[in-house]
Amino acid sequence: MRRLRNTKVIATLGPTSSTAETIEELHLAGADIFRLNFSHGTHADHRVTYTHIRTLEAKQGRPIGILADMQGPKIRIGTFAEGPVYLEKGASFRFDNDTAAGDASRVSLPHPAVLKSLDIGSELLLDDGKLKMTVTGVSDNHVDCVVSTGGKLSDRKGVNIPNVVVKISALTDKDRRDLDFALELGVDWVALSFVQRPEDIAEVKKIVAGRAAVMAKIEKPAAVERLFDIIELSDAVMVARGDLGVEMPVQEVPSIQKKIIACAREAGKPVVVATQMLESMISSPVPTRAEVTDVANAIYDGTDAVMLSAESAAGDHPIEAVTMMNDIAEVTEKDPIYRNIIDATHGDLEATTADAISAAASQVSRTIGASAIVTYTTSGSTALRAARERGKTSVLALTPSLKTARRLALVWGLHCVHTKDAENFADMVAKACKISFAEGFARPGDQVVIMAGVPFGTPGSTNILRIAWVGEQ
């Protein structure tokens, strides 16, 4: 199955899309990676869904990536004794560790580490930013606030705390159980929520121990401030615009999105844009024009993947939503302006053999009009460097590791094929030509550019660039 686009599509699975039949329809419509959202569903539910995906993968003969998204800490207030309260602007309000039901003057905030992280002047946003409060006094067991934006406040509403590094781990006890389960299943990617600092990623990578790739969700201002360090430690990043748009002025989100994409591309790390991309398609069979433009803009910026959340997990039109994502990507990438933007935002090369070979392969393929670039990769690093070029020529990533093929399904422009490694130089050329033909990327008489490393099967040894003619197969 050959996609007619380079940008990948991630579809979240949920109540309306977890049957084997629907998962297959979503894949045929354009979904390259499936997201299991551990904020919802039981382990038993996710196991069944995982089995459906792997069965489909075997049927289609195409590597399919699976992303397990951890819930992360959810900071919520307690309950009110007599139902919702209305807080006027300028009123005083207290958050404390008392478990008693609240009233118009106080409510429980059952997170001791959060209370200890606040200082005078800290801001608290409640109910997705509908209410705003400023801390005026702190103690060991409570904080006093003044209401700066009033409104109705009801039981267990969420709390966002921008511009404060909260002294809690990005992994809750629930997340640790979910992570152990996801790794035991065999997921390819783990997405970490509530990332505030590089140490959060280091903690998860120590637990994962190479069994999956780790994606940092950038959804807090503290993470934006430490962006370069977080990208360096992560295997990929996600522009998680939900909480990001609550904790920062919404008008800043577009520029932050562009910054994250640019930094990830410069580092050669995959980047995903997510949240509310086709939100109206939860209930409508067609998106708004603004949503289509939003998706296209992320593609113009060179994102590796765009993601659907509730649209495919719980919406009325999951297949249509994936089809629309696929179609937007195809049309956008055909626009001559797209190629101009991608070329103009190309990052500087690193002084490595892999970067030199990848850049040369891209240049040679353009010069001779090659039908494809074929990369042999074991760890995936060679294919990642080829994708970083964002070249015009299609890239086939051949790997003997099914785990690597599944992870690379997320990456811009890579068509992954799980196959045995080359035995010798002649086999390298023959296999590249044969697979290019079989996968529909080249015809007899076409040329392909081959990237590989000698000795074969040695990770990080990319040192060969070869041009080959595709003969009769």
CB 260 within 8 A of CB 237: yes
pLDDT tens digits for range 319-353: 999 999 999 999 999 999 999 999 998 878 777 87
Q: Are residues 232 and 317 in the same domain?
A: yes
Does 202 fall in a domain?
A: yes
Q: Are residues 146 and 284 in the same domain?
A: no
CA diameter of the chain:
80
Q: What angle do CA 461, 412, 251 make, to 5 degrees?
A: 130
Q: Are residues 145 and 229 in the same domain?
A: no
- One-letter amino acid at 219 equals E
Q: Are residues 177 and 256 in the same domain?
A: yes
Report the C-alpha gap between 236 and 231 in whole angstroms.
Answer: 7
pTM of the model: 0.93
Strands (E), 256-317: 271-274, 305-308
pLDDT of residue 459: 72
Does 374 fall in a domain?
A: yes
pLDDT of residue 388: 92
pLDDT tens digits for range 20-58: 999 999 999 999 999 999 999 999 999 999 999 999 999
Q: Which of 402, 390, 384, 406 is nearest to 451 (CA)?
A: 384
Q: Are residues 153 and 176 in the same domain?
A: no
Among residues 35, 132, 388, 390, which one is catalytic? 35
pLDDT of residue 460: 67
Report the C-alpha gap between 266 and 389 in whole angstroms.
Answer: 10
Q: Are residues 247 and 292 in the same domain?
A: yes
Does 186 fall in a domain?
A: yes
Q: Which of 448, 444, 445, 446 is nearest to 415 (CA)?
A: 448
Q: Give Cα separations from 445 to 164, 369, 371, 398, 425 (angstroms).
A: 61, 12, 10, 21, 20
User: What does R_g of the chain's alpha carbons equal in angstroms?
Assistant: 24
Tell me the residue range of the domain where 146 lies: 85-160
Identify the CATH number of the domain in which residue 136 sits: 2.40.33.10
Q: Are residues 199 and 270 in the same domain?
A: yes
Q: Are residues 156 and 178 in the same domain?
A: no
The answer to whether the bond into 455 is cis (omega within 30° of 0) is yes
Q: Are residues 295 and 397 in the same domain?
A: no
Q: Are residues 97 and 12 in the same domain?
A: no
pLDDT of residue 345: 87
Q: Are residues 39 and 89 in the same domain?
A: no
pLDDT of residue 79: 96
Report the C-alpha gap between 54 and 66 in whole angstroms.
Answer: 9
Identify the CATH number of the domain in which residue 456 sits: 3.40.1380.20
Report the C-alpha gap between 43 and 219 in whole angstroms.
Answer: 25
Burial class (CB in 10 A: 0-12, 13-18, 19+), 449: buried
Q: Residue 146: which H helix or E strand, with range? A: strand 142-149
The residue assigned the tokens 């629930």 is 174
- One-letter amino acid at 226 equals R
Q: Residue 349: which H helix or E strand, with range? A: none
Of 279, 309, 335, which one is at a domain's C-terminal end? 335
339 in active site: no
CB 465 within 8 A of CB 395: no
Among residues 7, 49, 275, 323, which one is catalytic? 275
Considering its fold, how many domains does the chain have in total? Answer: 3
Does 2 fall in a domain?
A: no
Strands (E), 275-344: 305-308
Does 3 fall in a domain?
A: no
Among residues 3, 47, 54, 76, which one is catalytic? 76
Cα torsion angle, 290, 295, 297, 298, sign? positive
CA atoms within 13 A on the CB side of 268: 18
**Phi, psi of 243, rounded to the nearest 5 degrees:** -65, -30
Does 61 fall in a domain?
A: yes
pLDDT of residue 218: 97
Report the C-alpha gap between 462 and 453 in whole angstroms.
Answer: 4
Q: Which of 134, 322, 359, 159 is nearest to 243 (CA)?
A: 159
Among residues 8, 132, 205, 217, which one is catalytic? 217
pLDDT of residue 402: 97
pLDDT of residue 351: 77
217 in active site: yes
Does 343 fall in a domain?
A: no
Identify the CATH number of the domain in which residue 184 sits: 3.20.20.60
197 in active site: no
Of 335, 365, 394, which one is at a domain's C-terminal end? 335
pLDDT of residue 318: 98
Task: Give the strand order in the sheet containing 395-399.
Answer: 414-418, 395-399, 372-376, 447-453, 462-469
pLDDT of residue 333: 98
Does 77 fall in a domain?
A: no
Give the three-class secondary structure for 442.
Answer: coil
Q: Give Cα separations from 212 to 9, 120, 183, 206, 236 (angstroms).
A: 19, 41, 7, 11, 12
Q: What angle do CA 109, 160, 239 make, to 5 degrees?
A: 145
Q: Are residues 297 and 200 in the same domain?
A: yes
* Residues with pLDDT less than 50, the chain: none
